[in-house]
Structure 1
Amino acid sequence: MSSSSLAAAEAADSADRWLRPDECAPPSVHRGARLDRAIDLLQRNPDARLLPVVDDEQRPIGALFEKDIRRLLLNPYGHALLRNPAYGGSLSDYLKPVPVAESSLPIPELIAAYRAAQGSEGMVLTRNGRLHAALANRRLVDLAAIDERGRTRRRLARAQQIEAAGQRFESDVAGLARDLSDLAAAIRTNAVATSIRSASTGESAAAVAAAATQSADNLGGIAEEGRHLADALTQIVGSTREARSLAADAVELVGEGRARTIELQRSAQSIDQVAHIIATISRQVKLLALNATIEAARAGEAGRGFAVVANEVKSLSDQTARAADTVTQHIVEIGGSVAEVADTYGKIDAAIAAMADRSAHIMLAIDDQHEATHRITRHVREAVGAAAATQIDARDIASTADTALQASLAMESLAARLMSGAEALTGQTDHFLREIRAS
């Protein structure tokens, strides 16, 4: 069976459930039958108010109404007219239109079709276009009343469902409004806290930038001192080489040698002071790097990059400290050598050969010191570059903190609008539910 046939069968079964047996397969006459045949059928069925008239395929084409036939029978000349072959044998004079509808239609549609056809005595139901049942007007009125009661019950049930749904909706909206209010308050609190943290981060970043600037200046001073130290060491290397070349004339140049020894002692002291300055600045840089690391940790995600730079500055500071220690050690060696030269200067005439040998050792040590000084200078230049990068990063952090501050202020404004919207939602919901209850 096709889907359309199955649907038609289900609709027919639905109609048969409310049709009474006496309404199905009603008596009917063919359009070619005689009038007396119709009168006989109406007399056999005294409850019938209409008699369907069908064609050859059992399709209704109209109906004979009991009131018209009764009027004919009550006429004093009615029986005479029926005996008249020309008049009494024809149905055409009494055949009238009748409302027709498919029995598969729902009761409301049947009632609507009956009213649209302006029916008054009843209607004919068909199944697939063929005569199936006949309904009297009173039966249609009863069906309309039953349908109206059903619709009333459905409306009442729907109203009860709407009332229950309204109560649930009111409860849900109230909970939602509370949640929105709580959420807005939390957002506002977080926005205020974010604003405070952003302002603090900006101030810390500004402080770090200032510290980085000071560190860059200090490192620049260290670089300048290192350059002077390298120049001094270069001069020492030249002097030592000259001392070796003039070892044969050392006797005549004893006085000059004594002066140079004194000068060498002063240079060693100057180098020791410079190394002390380098160690002091290195400790300061390390302390600044540690402070910068702490501030970057406070800044959270925004300060991660700055923490990396601070660690690099700290590493460079450690390297500078170690280099300063190396310089100090070499200075101690140089000081020892110079002291030994000063102590044995009275024996210089007899130790020219030994002096030449010691000059060679001094020259090697100075070469090593010269290279170490250049390394220190290079590292200091790198530290200066790192400090400049730290300053740039600190400015970026300050800019990011300012952006976060503006965003938090916007979030606070949004939270205020959200709270206002929650209050408006509550008011609108109350108004909506009052209207529903009033209707």
Structure 2
Amino acid sequence: MKNLDFVLAPSAGHAVAVPDDAQLSEVIDIFRANAQLRLLAVLDAAGRPVGIIREQRVRELLFCPYWFSLMQNPTIGGSIAMMIEPCLTAGVDESTADLLRIVSRAAGHEGLVLVRDGRFVETLDSGQLARLAMLREVELAHERAARASRVDDAGRRFQQDVAAWTASLSDMAREAETVAHALSDRARQTGLDAVSVAGATAQTLAGLHELGDRGHALAAAMARIVDDGRLARAARHEAHRTIVEAGDRAAALQAASQAIEHMLALIIDMAGRTNMLALNAGIEAARAGDAGRGFAVVASEVKQLAGQTRSAASDITQYVDRIRDVIGQVTEGFREVEKAIDANNGFSDAIEQAVDGQSATTLTIASYVEQAVAAGREIDMRAHGISHGASAVGADAESLGQLSSGLTKLAEALHQRAGRFVDAVAAA
């Protein structure tokens, strides 16, 4: 039995026992010899307890008026069977708490028999059990005191840990609150920037719309210019053809004037010859006298006619020369006009090609402007989305700041509550 030696040492007779065939007189002698003995174990032949005999029963028997007569009766006086009572048994190695638990569960028993491997070791009476219970209470008190000391130490360490944790928690909460305020300010600034971007985007969209409209108008004007250029090119080609034809006609007139000039030269030559013939005829008529007078008149008329023809031919030659000069100038002018028209055609073709290219470029620019307008709308939508998101982030940041502030207050309350808890545990 653990922790019982110093408790049971002052008592005697704990290990005293009698066999189950012992005489009552032996039992009385044992109780008389052991004044502190309250229970006497009864063992079988193998040393196993079969019951107990209480000192109180023996005392009652001794104080009975008929005790002497009973003792003289050989049937009753020599047997202890009527004195044996059932007993509680427990292992000698059981703990004090287990022994007390066994006794508390079995009501009506005043003692306990301790055994080892089923064999008797010693007995514990009610007084010894009471002393054992008292010892157990002392042990429990020591254990509670030690536990209270450990709880107090743990509480102090817990308070220190909680203080450190709450301090760290408060610091983190303050940092979170600072970050939340900074985040709120940044979100507010981001919202303002997004509003500014949205305003600038709206102005840009208006400018892009106007630019797109003007681009389309310019493209339409370019298209009209291209159409007018085609008509002008057709007119230029027609004028060129007309000038070429007029040049050809002027060249034909110049050739005809040259032919007329040759004819006039021939007429002048013929008039000169006729004049010579008329002169010769007049000479011959003068030689003929009166016979040739009529011929002389004819010759004179022919001479006058030849002179007139020659004079008229000379005048015509001057006019033909002038006409030829004019026709030459006209022909040269037609050639210059033709060259100018050719050059104009080249310039017009280049201009038309440039206008065609500019028209395509204008259409491309208009397309890009439309794409830019679409992108501007997207940017405007995104800017408004950023503004709304920034507002939401700002609200969340403010909520985070409030939560951080509440967390700081909770940390302080936790620190105070932990202190009160440790004080209460220490006071208990």
The separation in 2 between residues aligned to 1:67 and 1:235, in whole angstroms, is 142
Amino acid at match of 1:161: R
Unaligned runs of 5+ in 1: 1-14, 255-345
| Residue 213 of structure 1, CA deviation | 0.7
Structure 1: how far apart are the matches of 2:117 and 2:175? 69
C-alpha distance in structure 1 between counterparts of 2:350 and 2:90, whole Å: 130
Match of 2:341 among 338, 342, 352: 352
C-alpha separation between the residues in 1 aligned to 2:336 and 2:51?
Answer: 158
Query: 1:153 & 1:394 partners in 2: Cα distance?
Result: 75
Query: Take 2:27 and 2:157, find their aligned partners in 1: how far apart are those partners?
Result: 64
2:19 aligned with 1:29:
yes
Tell me by how many angstroms 1:402 deviates. Answer: 1.0
Among 49, 63, 74, the residue aligned to 1:85? 74
The equivalences for 1:16-415 within 5 A come to 27-30=17-20, 33-36=22-25, 38-39=27-28, 48-53=37-42, 60-66=49-55, 68-69=57-58, 81-103=70-92, 105-114=94-103, 117=107, 120=110, 122-126=111-115, 131-250=120-239, 348-415=337-404
Contact 1:27-1:41 at 8 Å conserved across structures? no
1:226-247, Cα deviation, whole Å (9 max, x unpaired): 1122122212212222232222
SS in 1 for 2:83: coil
Partner of 1:438: 427
Kept in 2, the 8 Å contact 1:24–1:134? The answer is: yes
Could you tell me how far apart the structure 2 residues matched to 1:24 and 1:138 are?
A: 12
Tell me, in whole angstroms, the C-alpha distance in 2 between the residues paired with 1:18 and 1:95: 26
Q: 1:24 to 1:64 in 2, by over 3 A?
A: closer
Deviation of 1:151 (Å): 1.8
| Contact 2:19-2:45 within 8 A present in 1 as well | no
Q: In structure 2, the residue corresponding to 1:395 is in which secondary structure?
A: helix
Tell me the amino acid that sits aligned with residue 434 of structure 1. Answer: D
Q: Distance in 2 between matches of 1:24 and 1:73?
A: 22
Shift of 1:385: 0.5
Question: Could you tell me whether the CA contact under 8 Å between 2:240 and 2:338 is conserved in 1?
Answer: yes
Give the superposition deviation at 1:88: 0.7
Q: State the SS of the aligned residue for 2:143.
A: helix
Question: Kindly, what percent of the aligned residue pairs are identical?
Answer: 32
Structure 1 residues 237 and 24: alpha-carbon distance in aligned structure 2, compared to 1, 3 A threshold: farther
Q: Distance in 2 between matches of 1:359 and 1:436?
A: 109
Structure 1 position 153, deviation (Å): 1.9
The amino acid that maps onto 2:383 is: A
Q: Secondary structure at the match of 1:87?
A: helix
Specify the code of the residue in structure 2 equivalent to 1:369. Q
Give per-residue Cα distances to partners, 1:197-229, cap 9 Å, x unaligned: 111111111110111111111111111121122
- Structure 1 stretch 150-159 or stretch 59-68: which is displaced more? 59-68
Q: Return 5+ residue gaps in structure 2 as ranges.
A: 244-334
Larger Rg: 2
Distance 1:104 1:71 in 2: 34
Contact kept in structure 2, 1:62 and 1:98, CA below 8 Å:
yes
Per the TM alignment, residue 367 of structure 1 is displaced from its structure 2 partner at its CA by: 1.8
Superposed CA deviations along residues 302-335 of structure 1, whole A, max 9, x for unmatched, are: xxxxxxxxxxxxxxxxxxxxxxxxxxxxxxxxxx
CA shift for structure 1 position 61: 4.8
Count of paired positions: 332
CA contact 2:2–2:95 (8 Å) conserved in 1: no
CA distance in 2, matches of 1:133, 1:16: 13
1:124 Cα deviation after fit: 1.4
* Contact 1:233/1:370 (8 A) holds in 2: yes
Partner Cα distance (1:23, 1:43) in 2 = 11
The answer (yes or no) to whether the contact 2:205–2:376 under 8 Å persists in 1 is: yes
- Taking the aligned partners of 1:435 and 1:176, their CA distance within structure 2 comes to 20
- 1:147-166, Cα deviation, whole Å (9 max, x unpaired): 33322221111111011111
Q: Retained in 2: the 8 A contact 1:29–1:38?
A: no
* Rounded Cα–Cα distance in structure 1 between residues aligned with 2:336 and 2:211: 40
CA distance in 2, matches of 1:81, 1:236: 158
SS at match of 2:76: coil
Confirm or deny: 8 A CA contact 1:195 1:405 kept in the other structure: yes
Change (3 A) 1:146 1:237: same
Residue 24 of structure 1 and its aligned partner are, at CA, apart by: 8.7
Q: Which of 382, 388, 405 is equivalent to 1:416? A: 405
Give the SS at the match of 2:77. Answer: coil
Cα displacement string for residues 256-277 of structure 1 (whole angstroms, at most 9, x for unaligned residues): xxxxxxxxxxxxxxxxxxxxxx
Distance 1:176 1:362 in 2: 85
Distance 1:434 1:164 in 2: 12
Task: Tell me, in whole angstroms, the C-alpha distance in 1 between the residues paired with 2:422 and 2:42.
Answer: 57
Cα deviation code 1:396-422 (max 9, x no counterpart): 001101111111121122122212212
Bigger shift: 376-385 or 194-203? 194-203
Q: Give the whole-Å Cα distance in 2 for the aligned partners of 1:241 and 1:366.
A: 11
Distance 1:49 1:414 in 2: 74
Following superposition, the deviation at residue 85 of structure 1 comes to: 1.0
Superposition deviation, residue 370 in structure 1: 1.6
Letter in 2 for 1:150: E
